[in-house]
Amino acid sequence: MSFNGADVSYRELRALVEDALRVLDGLTPGRPVGLHVRKSPESVALVLACWAQRRPFLLPPTDLGTDARAALYRQAGCGQVVHADLTTVDTGEPADEVPDLEGIGPMLTTSGSTGLPKVVPLPHAAIDRFADWAAGAFDITAGSVVFNYAPLNFDLCLLDIWTTLRVGGHVVLTDQERALDARYLLRAFTHAPVEVVQAVPLFYRRLLEVADSPFPGVRELVHTGDAMPPALLARLPELFPKARIRNVYGCTETNDSLIHDSDPGSADPVPIGRPIDGVEVRVDGAELLVRTPFQAGRYLDTAITDKWVELDGHTWLRTGDLVRRDADGVFHLDGRADHQVKVRGVRTNLRQVEAALQSHPEVADVVVLALPDDEAGYRLHALVRAVGGARPNSLTLRSHCARLLPRTAVPSSVELAAEEFPRTSTGKVDRKKLLADRV
């Protein structure tokens, strides 16, 4: 394992795990613990120690507010919170409120974009099945060097870190506090001969800003977690001339579900692909329903039942994603049910508006916001980052949209953004912040 320029051997990692086990041995046996940690070798060792004890553990986002984090600890029945330095804090929660977590390992959380994050309890058996699939799908074996960009609480780590360590590979960890620092990311990426990399598009954009030579040793490149702009995808072969480039679609509740070999030569939005081995999908109206061998099957809060449905004796997740399937059986993502708004009474998909703007040759990145409007219900406001030194004007971009979209879907205002869009801890555009700054 590598972190911030230093290597940690498996022998050294084992010693860190043993230190963590001694602390966990002093806690209530079998009771779940909360881990308030940022990514580091010590944090990885603490997670491995919980796994070794078969002790359920909650990994909330580190940037979550204190009150919200405490509410999640209460919900999960965590009696203690353990930090990366192995100090512990008693939460004071009574032991009789511990939920049934038989067979559960990590408890991850959803993004919380619509309120308190939902806790997703992942079964050990599901993770074992996922690791077996991921190791085979990306040929991760003993000695493979895999790059990890996502924060430790993100489900992408099931591939980047946990699958790699399970087979004896080498994980290159990035410091999540420096996830936007292009020079730092380049140093981390070149510390070891990376073969497999999985990251959100933001990482690849940052690397392209500073890298002055390609990385022919990378054989598997995965983009996930956010839409890959076609213009950015087209540039990836510059850095990764020998890599197979794939888009992986999934969510915390079900893990990876669909996969697609991305075509850097295509100007169209990248499809989310076809179901991976063992995954079943359905389309209800336009919404995608998924059932995978790797899924949680429920939220910890049993009162939340609207997203899990029982069909034909099996549990399916309503993803909230709107899709269409082409004649070749490939799925395309058209947006989210919660990204649809009515403009003057006409239902409008914000993702489709973004795709239209993204197709303009002078647009590098775009976010479309729905701003409340007394007359129209909502009005569409587009934030655009231009390519290079281009300065497209509002009229040009709105005229471009008018050729592709219904009149009600044409943004009423366009704002040129000089800076990168704000991002969440997982690298996705922070729409809540952008919206809050404009309403």
Cβ-based neighbours of 222, under 8 Å, separated by 6 or more: 138, 159, 196, 197, 198, 199, 246, 247, 248
- The pair of structure tokens assigned to 393 is 């004007």
Return the bridge partners of 366, or none: 384
Angstrom distance (rounded) from CA 255 to CA 246: 16
303: confidence class by pLDDT, cuts 50, 70, 90: confident
Looking at residue 229, what is its pLDDT? 87
**Percentage above 90 pLDDT, the chain:** 69
Angstrom distance (rounded) from CA 229 to CA 226: 9
Provide the residue type at 37 as one letter: V
Whether the model clears a pTM of 0.85, i.e. scores above it, the answer is no
Provide the residue type at 233 as one letter: L
145 phi/psi in degrees, rounded to 5: -105, 120
Per residue in 318-336, pLDDT (tens digit) is 998 889 999 999 999 987 7
Cβ atoms of 322 and 337 within 8 Å: the answer is yes
Looking at residue 113, what is its pLDDT? 47
Looking at residue 426, what is its pLDDT? 61
Cα distances (Å, whole numbers) of residue 200 to 22, 142, 424 = 36, 25, 11
Return the bridge partners of 309, or none: 316
Q: Beta 274-275 vs 255-261: how paired, if at all?
A: antiparallel
Instruction: Catalogue all structural domains in the chain, each as residue range(s) with its CATH number.
Output: 1-275 (3.40.50.12780), 344-436 (3.30.300.30)
Looking at residue 206, what is its pLDDT? 93
Place of tokens 């996502």: 150
- Asked if the model's pLDDT at residue 439 lies above 80, the reply is no
Place of tokens 């999540």: 176
Mean pLDDT value of segment 112-131: 85
416 phi/psi in degrees, rounded to 5: -80, 125
- The pair of structure tokens assigned to 373 is 């409007």
Per residue in 239-277, pLDDT (tens digit) is 999 999 999 999 999 999 999 999 999 999 999 999 999
Angstrom distance (rounded) from CA 424 to CA 111: 9
117: confidence class by pLDDT, cuts 50, 70, 90: confident
Residue whose C-alpha is closest to residue 164's, from 10, 20, 18, 49: 10
- Asked if the model's pLDDT at residue 172 lies above 60, the reply is yes
- Asked if the model's pLDDT at residue 73 lies above 50, the reply is yes
Angstrom distance (rounded) from CA 63 to CA 217: 34
Cβ-based neighbours of 74, under 8 Å, separated by 6 or more: 91, 93, 97
- Counting other chains too, the contacts that 97-102 makes at CB distance below 8 Å and 24 or more residues apart are 98/31, 98/32, 99/75, 99/300, 101/32, 101/56, 101/76, 101/77
**Residue-level length of the chain:** 439
> To 5 degrees, how large is the angle CA 410–CA 415–CA 416?
125
Mean pLDDT value of segment 234-238: 96
Looking at residue 67, what is its pLDDT? 81
In the three-class reduction of DSSP (H, G, I as helix; E, B as strand; rest coil), residue 186 is classed as helix
* Listed range (20-24, 327-331, 435-439) with the worst mean pLDDT: 435-439
Per residue in 204-227, pLDDT (tens digit) is 999 999 999 999 999 999 999 888
- Asked if the model's pLDDT at residue 30 lies above 90, the reply is no
Average pLDDT, the chain: 91
3 phi/psi in degrees, rounded to 5: -155, 120
Looking at residue 114, what is its pLDDT? 46
